[in-house]
Structure 1
Amino acid sequence: AEEEAMPYSLVEKLQDAGINAADLKKLKDAGFNTSQSIVFAMRKDLLSIKGLSDQKVDKIIEAARKTTDAGFVTCTQLVQKQKSRFALSTGATKLDQMLGGGVESCAITEFFGEFRCGKTQLCHSLAVMAQLPPNMGGANGKVVYIDTEGTFRPERLRQIAESKGVSAEAAMENIVYARCYTSEHLVQLLLEAASLMVSDDDRFALVIVDSIMGVFRVDYSGRGELSERQQPRTRDEQVAEDERGVQRGRRPHQPGDGRSGR
């Protein structure tokens, strides 16, 4: 079969535009692994990288823009691009119907609800479903699972995998897991995830953050800090989604959710 085109361009390709290897290493060390991540970044973030001057940053941005499709396209081109999108089944027929077929690729899907209504269970199910072939509602891909509350249970994954006729050992091997403790740690983990997804030969299909608001709620507790906590969350998620073209499943805390009372 014809190899699927990558939805991103590695920063190494910027060498063709005259960006030297030393500057590319600085970009990668700062978490910029693709041209898309550079185009989507604020200029001030690039200037904060030690050793990159105003002139170098301008040259890097210009080179990155030439290797991406972040500008205008025709509606015909957009329709063609969207044909590659697909829906990942949740494993629950009625929920799939509510979502229009399942969790959409290249998009963020957010689940919320009362304490103990099954949000983490759904995350575990999606982590297995993503590995199944398309004819079984899956996406033939690996999964990134970021756990902010310590609710991830490998034994539950094993049960779900076995119920789907999948090797439990293989299913767990295809999930890369990280325990997250603060909002800054979450941002760093998302950067590491982006680096992993573009450097790994295998395809990643899904990123799960359970729960997305847990660490932000703790680090930015007052109402006066609401805007401050929303900005990094929204920006970093959108960049990760657009850069790699994977699905992102997350669950926030609903007000009155019990504040992680597990």
Structure 2
Amino acid sequence: MSDTSITTQDIVQIDELQNFGINAADISKLKVAGIYSVNTVLSTTRRNMNKIKGLSEVKVDKIKEAASKIISIGFIPATVQASKREKVIAISTGSKSLDNILGGGIMTMSITEVFGEFRCGKTQMAHTLCVAAQLPKEQGGAEGKVAYIDTEGTFRPERIKQIAVRFDLDPDVTLDNIMYARALNSEHQTELTDQLGNELVHGDYKLIVVDSIMANFRVDYCGRGELNERQQKLNQYLSKLCRISEEFNIAVFMTNQVQSDPGASALFAASAKPVGGHVLAHASATRILLRKGRGEERVAKLQDSPDMPERDCTYIISEKGICDPDD
């Protein structure tokens, strides 16, 4: 295989290491640890690989050396990075006005976070995206499957079926294309994400939903005494999601809870701010604040984006999922 760059999004399965002197037993150990591609080998630190049972420092060095022979990493011309960005796919939220302020929809190769109080449409948006991601690209989809990690037990298959009818998709086929898991705690949530590697390496998946990102971490780590440990674990988990999104050209969509913030601006969401602190704020490329509007309307405010200005729009939640008020 000719040298390429890890930034070209060419995913090389880990079995390719056998052609460079790595035995099948060591490759199996990597897979057990959630490492299914050569790209992931390169992005995993030696320190973490040394923690894998059965891999010595000598073996880790040998594996790293073999991986670097398959994929070259380092500085590249900005034109190569521009070519990579051309592969980004925008997945429709179901609302044209919301897609517009996002620059087309929820983007692959990055993490998008929505936060807000209860009944503002976070989970409904997640359900709508699960269906929209399966649509053809010319209809605002990504022509891919979805992985859904549910931390609060709010996933509803019957809701997916309703939204699928709106987009003229077969409800049962739509459900078959969603891989669902109920995360019992923060450790299980991390393990589930590691397990995704075996599925993602084939390129069939285009969306990962985590609903919600902080629920388990808030329960498992209580009080100020455990805050530092919680943030460290959260940072490691978010780093994993970020790597997955870039490596496999996948959109990561997270919902988040809010907490009281009496000192916030009185103009917009005066009493609520997203949980997770700066760790979560820095990990999310795009942050959207959702709130209740007048009547059935909801308001989405784009608070942070690498390429779009701060703007807001209105949408509604109907049997068809997230949509515009005039739909």
Compute the TM-score of the two structures, normalised by the length of structure 2: 0.73
Cα distance, 1:10 vs structure 2: 0.7
1:213 maps to 2:214: yes
The answer for the alignment partner of 1:42 in structure 2 is 45
Moved more, 12-21 or 217-226: 217-226
CA contact (8 A) 1:220 1:229 kept: no
Computing the radius of gyration over CA atoms, which structure comes out larger, 1 or 2? 2
The answer for the alignment partner of 2:241 in structure 1 is 237
The answer for the alignment partner of 1:103 in structure 2 is 106
The answer for the alignment partner of 2:178 in structure 1 is 175
Cα distance, 1:42 vs structure 2: 2.2
Letter in 2 for 1:155: E
Cα distance in 1 between the residues matched to 2:29 and 2:233: 27
Letter in 2 for 1:219: D
Cα distance in 1 between the residues matched to 2:10 and 2:114: 26
Moved more, 239-248 or 176-185: 239-248
- The superposition leaves residues 8-49 of structure 1 with CA deviations (integer Å, 9 ceiling, x where unpaired) of 111101112111111111111111111121112121221111
The answer for the alignment partner of 1:74 in structure 2 is 77
Cα distance in 2 between the residues matched to 1:196 and 1:80: 25
* Runs of 5+ consecutive residues of structure 1 not aligned to the other structure: none
Cα distance in 2 between the residues matched to 1:149 and 1:109: 19
Cα distance, 1:233 vs structure 2: 2.4
Cα distance in 1 between the residues matched to 2:204 and 2:61: 32
Moved more, 32-41 or 228-237: 228-237
Compute the TM-score of the two structures, normalised by the length of structure 1: 0.91
CA contact (8 A) 1:11 1:34 kept: yes
CA contact (8 A) 1:11 1:33 kept: yes
> Within 5 A, what are the aligned runs for 1:54-133?
54-68=57-71, 70-133=73-136
CA contact (8 A) 1:190 1:240 kept: no
CA RMSD in angstroms, aligned pairs only: 1.9
Cα distance, 1:6 vs structure 2: 6.3
Cα distance, 1:71 vs structure 2: 2.0
* Runs of 5+ consecutive residues of structure 2 not aligned to the other structure: 1-7, 261-271, 276-327
CA contact (8 A) 1:208 1:250 kept: yes
CA contact (8 A) 2:9 2:249 kept: no
SS in 1 for 2:65: helix
Letter in 2 for 1:94: S
> Which protein is richer in helix relative to its size?
1
Cα distance, 1:221 vs structure 2: 2.3
Cα distance in 2 between the residues matched to 1:233 and 1:57: 22
The answer for the alignment partner of 2:30 in structure 1 is 27
Cα distance, 1:66 vs structure 2: 3.1
The answer for the alignment partner of 2:315 in structure 1 is none
SS in 2 for 1:109: strand
Aligned length: 253
Moved more, 125-134 or 211-220: 211-220
Identity of aligned residues (%): 43
> Which protein is richer in strand relative to its size?
2
The answer for the alignment partner of 1:223 in structure 2 is 224
